[in-house]
Structures are given as structure tokens and as C-alpha cells.
Chain A
Amino acid sequence: MCLAIPGRIVEVIDEANRLAKVDVAGVRRTVNIGLLDGEDGGVAAGDWVLIHVGFAISQVDEEEAIATRRLLEQMGVEYEQELAELKASAIE
């Protein structure tokens, strides 16, 4: 549960609840983006974010996202476990 994994926002699907569809290494799931709401309106489709327990906790640039993903892939089982848990998630 400690990992924060990078994903790219595909689209905001529920404005009121701040839910967005993200793509994490080919897996598409719903996460909450409300913690990144700021004066500038928050994150939007196309942005990369780090995702922790179903919430985007920080916005990163593409290079950082890809480097983080590479690092996590090298971790092996823990990353696979995290992806498996994400796959089982069905946030509405």
C-alpha cells in the first residue's frame, strides 16, 4: 500500500465527485483527483499523476512518470501486486 504509481488521466468522468479514468500501464481504472484541485482548476485529461490508494496525490511530468514506472517495474512482485490490487478496484 505504500507505493504511489504513475498513471495518465484519460478523462474526468464525474465532475462532482472528482473522479477520473486513468491509464496505469494499460490498466484503466477510476481514481479520485480531488486532492489536486487548486486555484488553477486541478488536473485534466492528458496529465500524469502519482496514484496512491485510489487517489492522485501529485502531478508529475511525463519524464518523471516514466522513470518512476521503470523503477517500479524493476521492483517486480510488489509492483505486480499493487497493479493486481488496482485491477480489483471498482471506485464509483
Chain B
Amino acid sequence: MKFVDEFRDAELGRAVAAEILAAVEPGRHYKLMEVCGGHTHSIYKYGIDDLLPANVELVHGPGCPVCVIPMGRVDDGIALAHEPGVIFTCFGDMLRVPGSAGTLLDAKAAGADVRMVYSPLDALRIAKANPGRQVVFFAIGFETTAPSTALTLKRAKAEGVTNFSCMCNHVTIVPPLRALLDSPDLRLDGFVGPGHVSTVVGARPFEFIPAEYGKPIVVAGFEPLDVLQAVHMLLRQLSEGRCEVENQYSRVVPYEGNLRALEVMAEVFALRPHFEWRGLGFISQSGLRLSDAYADFDAELRYGVPGVRVADPKACQCGEVLKGVIKPWECKVFGTACRPERPIGTCMVSSEGACAAYYNYGRFARERELV
């Protein structure tokens, strides 16, 4: 158990690993999905899977915001970046996401004014500093990030900034989980629920998982001990025949979420009837657009974005990875044609992506060290 020594409380880590071992039924296979890319990262960084019994399998979910952006949206973004006079702003991770004919970084090399920003407020500052130019912010992220875009737009509106607009790609966490639960491909026994998203939405929205699908979910923090404890809580629910929403991360996540953040989101955004997810296809009511009150700030309306739809490249199996159907190393191009420096699929781009986590921590095949 070499990794346990790095835990906040190594003793406790060992104890939880032992309790997990005691909680599993030997002949049974457990498939638990960690929804959030941050958890995937922690699991491989700390070798948490090596601490689990061989019949407890962790599969990786769709909770990495960069990974789920479909190619068509990247192409649309690139088209906006090439509009005359536009300064196109986005988070650093987005720059390397492949569209059908290159990335935003390629667009920049070809002369588009593409700038990386740390915050949507930096994009707004750029707009105010360049009154003669139009500044577009390419917004991505789950409910963790959406309130930040919302507050930025509220401020832009209050200050009457007219050269700022937003191409909104925000997505919500519940619909893809429902889609996964409805998918016949995948049999899951429970979920390690996302931590940061839940600081905003709370734990309550996950109640449908036990209520309608009879599966447990435990919202968890990001430290290795948090993830291990969440796995233990799930296994305990399963062995006791319970299924409910539990909150392992209550020190940070309030059960009701952040009401202020939910309120600004409700004001600034409206649900799209459907939104396309990389590899998962269209999922109804899973994406956000700007609300009618903020239509003036909607880059898609301002520019008549092409609305490109492109199929994922043939070689790419990101969809299966995002659904937890295959492990990254099962994708034919993993580690060969698709690498972090030259990603084919999105899961290889951000360090939160499952493929990047597997690649960076040297998981090229099935081997698991057993404890």
C-alpha cells in the first residue's frame, strides 16, 4: 500500500481499505462510476484502484467539461474567431481541442486573434479595454463554472458593455447521468458523485438516482481518502441493501447547494431543448443558452454561427470512454496516434480527461497490482 502514506491520514486510509475489503461479497463484481474528471485524476495519481479489491471496478464518467464539447461546437467557435475584428477568448484547455479542421490554436496561428483567459471576467476586461473590437467569450463547463459566466454577463449588462458576447456551451450534470442510466450498454452499481458541481447544485438533484433507478450515489471530495471513503460508503449501502444519496463531502457541499449561484444561473441562462455531447449524441435539456433577457449578449445570435455538426472521427472512441463502456487503453489509437501533445479525441486534452489520466500515469494495459 505504498500510496496510502501520502494520504492526509495514512492510518485512516489503511483502515478504510481494510473495511472495503470486508464489505465486498467475494463472488460479486461491482462497477462504480466516478462522474467527475477530478476524481479520475486523483484515482490514478494515488493509485486508489490498486487499493481496491479486484472485484471492485471504477469506471470513468462524463464529468470533464472539455471532453464533452463536440467537434461542431469547436468548428463554430473557430468560425467566430475568424470574424473580422473579433477577439476570441477561452480557457487554456479549450485551445487544443480538435475541431474537424484543426484547433483554436491553429486558428490563432492562421491569424485569428484568439486569447486564453483565466476567468470570464478577464474576457470582459479585454472588451472594456478594446472598445473598437468585439470580444467573444467561449463559455464551457458544468454548474461549477456556469455561475461565473452568469455573474460576468450580469455585470456586462449593468455596465452597458456592448462589445462583449458569449458563445454558451455550458452543460448540466443531471441529464447525462440519466442518459447513462437509461443506456443498455452499461450496468452500474453506484456513483461517486461530483464534488465541485455539487457545491453549486447541492446533493438534492441526485435523489432521482436512488428513487428512480435504485442505485446509490455518494458525493465525494477529491483527496484520495475522500474517494476511498466514498467507495466504502457505496459498498456499505450495497451490502446493507440500502440505496440513497449520501454526502461524504459535507464539509464543503451543502445539501441544498449554493442558492445565490442557482439564482443568477436561472436569470441569465435558459435550458436548450437539446445539446450535443461528444460521443454521447444529443441529450435533451442538457445544455444552457443565454436567456431572452440576455439575448443581446448571445454570440450565436449576434453572428449567425454556422451551426456545424460533424461526426466524431472514426478512430475516436471517446464516447465509449465517456460512458465508461471501455477503458482508455482499449481505444485503438490510445497512446499511439492519440497522445496529450497531439490529441485526436477530447479525453486526451485536459488533464481531467480519462485518457490523459491513464496516459500520464502510465496505465497502458489491464495490469493491476493487487494488495
Q: How far is the CA of A60 from the CA of B196 in the complex (A)?
A: 13
CB contact under 8 A between A89 and B252, given known A52-B144, A52-B196, A57-B199: no
Q: Which residues of B contact A86 (CB under 8 A)?
A: 118
* Count of A interface residues, CB-CB < 8 Å: 38
Q: B222 contacts which of A17, A55, A71 (Cβ < 8 Å)?
A: A71
Minimum CB–CB distance for B343 against chain A, Å? 16
Q: Give the A-B contact count at a CB cut-off of 8 A.
A: 117
Q: How far is the CA of A57 from the CA of B258 in the complex (A)?
A: 9
Q: How far is the CA of A77 from the CA of B357 in the complex (A)?
A: 13
Give the interface size class of chain B.
Answer: 35 or more
Q: B151 contacts which of A34, A74, A92 (Cβ < 8 Å)?
A: A34
Q: How far is the CA of A36 from the CA of B143 in the complex (A)?
A: 15
6 A-B pairs with least C-beta separation: A54-B119, A89-B118, A55-B148, A1-B91, A85-B118, A91-B121
Q: B39-55, CB under 8 A of A: which get 1 and which 0?
A: 00110010000000000
A4 within 8 A of B: yes
Enumerate A25-66 residues with CB–CB distance to B below 8 Å. Answer: 31-32, 34-38, 50, 52-55, 57-58, 60-61, 64
CB atoms of A53 and B118 under 8 A apart? yes
CB atoms of A1 and B196 under 8 A apart? no
Q: Which residues of A contact B92 (CB under 8 A)?
A: 1, 81, 85
Q: Which residues of A contact B (CB under 8 A)?
A: 1-4, 17, 31-32, 34-38, 50, 52-55, 57-58, 60-61, 64, 67-68, 70-71, 74-75, 77-78, 81, 85-86, 88-92
CB atoms of B199 and A58 under 8 A apart? yes
CB atoms of B120 and A53 under 8 A apart? yes
Q: Which residues of A contact B199 (CB under 8 A)?
A: 50, 57-58
Q: Which residues of A contact B352 (CB under 8 A)?
A: 2
Q: Which residues of B contact A50 (CB under 8 A)?
A: 196, 199, 252
